[in-house]
Chains A and B, each alone.
Chain A
Amino acid sequence: MSSLVITDLHASVITDAGESEILRGVSLTVESGTTNAIMGPNGSGKSTLAYVIAGHPKYTVTSGSITLDGADVLAMSVDERARAGLFLAMQYPVEIPGVSVSNFLRTSITALRGEAPKLRTWTKEMKESMADLQMDPSFAARNVNEGFSGGEKKRHEILQLGLMQPKIAVLDETDSGLDVDALKVVSEGVNRFKDATGAGVLLITHYTRILRYIKPDVVHVFVDGRIVETGGPELADSLESEGYERFAVAKA
């Protein structure tokens, strides 16, 4: 059993115009075996929360805490967080010219497992995982995310999720840019991972569409840098029909 505990988290981004606060007191717990959905309007700070959990250097935490099974996540470097069991499927995965997917995955798995996987079993493992996500085997030889379509990038993120087997996974708009068929394939990938590992999932999305495939236990509404309401799966449906207006009003 693992739990990621976020307590009264405040974080800012430094820009040319100075420092501006984006997260304004986020408190949230993600336990193993549960799926938490976060829904909120554009620019409310959802990706910022995901990045701050992963340790992106652009953001500074000004107060609050994040712990994973009691360990201070904020004191860890980005790679230490991953090795501690955190994973972020990014909204905009980064292209890395000249680095092949297979080399990248093998380097990552070696770092996460503490030893290089045996070449034969590894090749098989990678091939099967790619087949599960209906990714053409030729992707292994391509450069990381370079020239991938939006949907291919998301499949590649979920491929990593399945191979890296984190304790807690943050999925930032994994559903955006996917057509219905791809959404199904990717959702199945996430569910396979959940069933196999019993990990905790924090799923960030705009739409309830993905929630028909990946069932959330809890839904949080995220507005203006904090969680303004928490409820069961039915909350997502009311958001879809009513939008976020009532929360904007509540804020004012």
Chain B
Amino acid sequence: MAAPPAKDLAPRIYSRNVEDFAVPLGREEEWRFTPISKIKDFFDVQEWASIGCETGSPFVEIVSMDDPRLNDAWLPTDRASAVAREGASQAVLVSIPTETEVAEPIVLQLTSTMLNNYAHIEVQTGAFARAQVVIVHDSSVNVSGSIVAKLGDQSQLTLLSVIDAEEPVRQHWHWASQLGRDAEFLGLSVSLGGGVIRTVPHITYTAPGGSAQMLGAFLLTGQQFQEHRILVDHSEPNCTSNVVYKGALSGEGAHSVWVGDVLVRREATGIETYELNRNLLLDEGPRADSVPNLELETGDVLSAGHASATGRFDDEQLFYLQSRGIPESVARHLVVRGFFVDVLAKVNDEELRSNLMKRIEARLGMVDHA
């Protein structure tokens, strides 16, 4: 398959062949923040298990990696995703038939049999279909995998992924979301804790009119590393993209990286794009890197903007709440919870939303003792 023209921000290689990608050394632009030495084993195919899934949904199947229904057009874009594609022996396939609206969220509880795993998850929506898919990761094991979403014309998909890692696990996830004509995609990536968590969401459009939102909430305490490296590749006219990531960090050694690449190709006229990253440092210890990149090959856009800010905990807010009798620990929780509210507000399902808030609160309990 012919690769798209190489642009600065777009991947240079699209391939299923592991050897087409050099082993990252850590000097490459896309790997320069990553603690490569901690995920060395992610770059060569190993004897690892394949992630399975428990679900009550009739739309979900476990299929072999050569199942013809898997999306042929999707190709790995780096060594890790190529290795995961090669190493996985099975895939979790979610197919929503044309014109089918699934009201209840489809929950995929990922399962594993070993400490190290490959994963391949695909979600396909037929034209006019509507669904919400919730991926609850097995956060006690190491995983390298991909989440591939293919949205049919005018379909709507909400894809929520929750990593809530108790232990210092390592997980590397590619998200590739392809939007058909007038499709609507909402991706929500919640990553709490973990030793090394790296997510690489790519959003592409195969026809005009698609609208994509990619939202993230992440929380790290001491010695944890998370990297979220997003690419929105606008190659079609009249599409929109909105990327919002919010992170809260505490503790010496906690390190987060957010890279938001937005590429607007010459043919992508009349698009709207916005990306935002805000990080809240709860104490003096952590480090948050935030790098927005917007590359415009056409001036003929409706709007294009980005913002990024990393700030310390606001003592004035704390003072105000405490002056109303609220103890300091409760006041801190309120502020941090408030910080994430606008991202989580996008979760339509009330039960899901409060479940997520509870997880964040539980993590915050940990933050206090970090």
Partner-contacting stretch, out of B126-134, B160-168, B227-235, B330-338: B330-338
Task: Count chain A CB atoms within 10 A of each CB in B320, B327, B330, B331 and give the residue with the most.
Answer: B320
**A99 B335 Cβ-Cβ under 8 A:** yes
13 A/B residue pairs, CB under 8 Å, sorted by A: A54-B319, A57-B315, A57-B319, A82-B323, A90-B320, A94-B314, A94-B317, A97-B341, A104-B321, A108-B326, A111-B324, A111-B326, A160-B324
For the complex, is A98 an interface residue (Cβ under 8 Å from B)? yes
B46 proximal to A (CB < 8 A): no
Cβ of A108 and Cβ of B338 under 8 Å apart? no
B320 in complex: contacting residue of A83, A96, A97, CB < 8 Å: A96
Contact with A along B231-253 (1 / 0, CB 8 A): 00000000000000000000000
The CA-CA distance from A78 to B327 in the complex, in Å, is 8
Tell me the nearest residue of chain B to A146, going by C-beta. Answer: B338
**Residues of the A chain whose Cβ atoms lie less than 8 Å from the Cβ of B324:** 79, 82, 104, 108, 111-112, 160, 164
Question: Which residue, of B314, B319, B324, has the highest number of chain A Cβ atoms within 10 A?
Answer: B324
CB distance B320 to A94 under 8 Å?
yes
Whether B328 contacts A79 by the Cβ 8 Å rule is: yes
Interface membership of B316, Cβ < 8 A: yes
Q: Which residues of A, 122-167, contact B by the 8 Å Cβ criterion?
A: 143-144, 160, 164
Tell yes or no: A192 within 8 A of B by CB. no
Question: How large, as a class, is the contact surface on chain A?
Answer: 20 to 34
Beta-carbon contact of B327 and A111 below 8 Å: yes
Closest to A99 in B: B338
Residues of A at under 8 Å CB distance from B? 54-58, 77-79, 81-83, 87-88, 90, 93-99, 103-104, 107-108, 111-112, 143-144, 160, 164
Contact B325 A83 (CB under 8 A): yes
Interface residue tally of chain B, by bracket? 20 to 34
Q: Apart from A82-B324, A111-B330, A144-B320, what are 8 other A-B pairs with CB-CB below 8 Å?
A: A55-B323, A56-B319, A78-B323, A81-B323, A93-B320, A98-B342, A107-B330, A112-B325
Interface centre among A57, A58, A88, A94, by most B CB within 10 Å? A94
Produce 1/0 per residue, B161-190, CB < 8 A to A. Answer: 000000000000000000000000000000
Whether a CB of chain A sits under 8 angstroms from the CB of B322 is: yes
A99 in contact with B323 given A57-B315, A77-B328, A94-B317 (CB within 8 Å): no
Bound together, the chains give a CA A96 to CA B328 distance in angstroms of: 15
The reply to whether the CB of B218 lies closer than 8 angstroms to some CB of chain A is: no
Residues from chain A with a CB closer than 8 A to the CB of B319 are 54, 56-57, 78, 94
Q: Is the CB of B340 within 8 A of A98?
A: yes
Task: Give complex CA distance A77, B327 in Å.
Answer: 9
Q: Which residues of B contact A55 (CB under 8 A)?
A: 322-323
Report the bound CA distance from A99 to B338 in whole Å.
5
B339 within 8 A of A: yes
**Minimum-distance CB pairs A-B, first 4:** A98-B338, A98-B341, A82-B325, A78-B322
> Which of A56, A95, A99, A160 meets B337, CB within 8 Å?
A99
Bound-state Cα–Cα, A216 to B59, Å: 73
Report the Cα distance A103→B333, complex, angstroms. Answer: 12
Which residues 276-320 in B have Cβ within 8 Å of A in the complex? 314-317, 319-320
Q: How far does the Cβ of A39 sit from chain B's closest Cβ, in whole Å?
A: 23
CB-CB under 8 A for A96 and B325, given A111-B330, A143-B338: no
Of chain A, the residue at the smallest CB distance from B328 is A79
Cβ 8 A contact of A96, one of B323, B330, B335: B335
* B323 pairs with A54, CB closer than 8 A: yes
Q: Which residues of B contact A104 (CB under 8 A)?
A: 321, 324, 334
Please report the C-alpha to C-alpha distance between residue A164 and residue B339 in the assembled complex, in whole angstroms.
Answer: 26
With A and B bound together, what is the CA distance between A160 and B326 in angstroms? 13
**For residue B316, which residues in chain A have a CB less than 8 angstroms away from its CB?**
94
Contact: A79 with B335, CB < 8 Å?
no
Contacting pair A79 B320 (CB below 8 A): no
